[in-house]
Amino acid sequence: MTERFERHRQPWTSEELQKLKLLAGKGMALKAIAKAMTRSEESIKDRAKLDGIGIAKLR
């Protein structure tokens, strides 16, 4: 089963950046953030790195 990411190759909006910061700040895992934002894990990881946002790692 392949997941479909509705925001594939779409530019990030300021609302999405705020949501990313909020979810990452709550300690959500990368996979959960990606699913909540309908973006790939790679996209979330790259954008977080670009903006200096730390994402929790699962232990």
**Alpha carbon 26 to chain centroid distance?**
13
Q: Structure pTM? A: 0.82
Of the candidates 56, 59, 19, 22, which has an alpha carbon nearest to the alpha carbon of residue 39? 19
Residue 6 has a pLDDT of 66
Please state, in angstroms and rounded to a whole number, the distance separating the CA atoms of residues 59 and 50: 24
Q: Is residue 8 over pLDDT 80?
A: no
**What are the domain boundaries of the chain?**
14-51
Report the C-alpha dihedral over residues 19, 25, 26, 31, rounded to 10 degrees. 70
**Would you place residue 1 in the very low, low, confident or very high pLDDT band (cuts 50, 70, 90)?**
very low
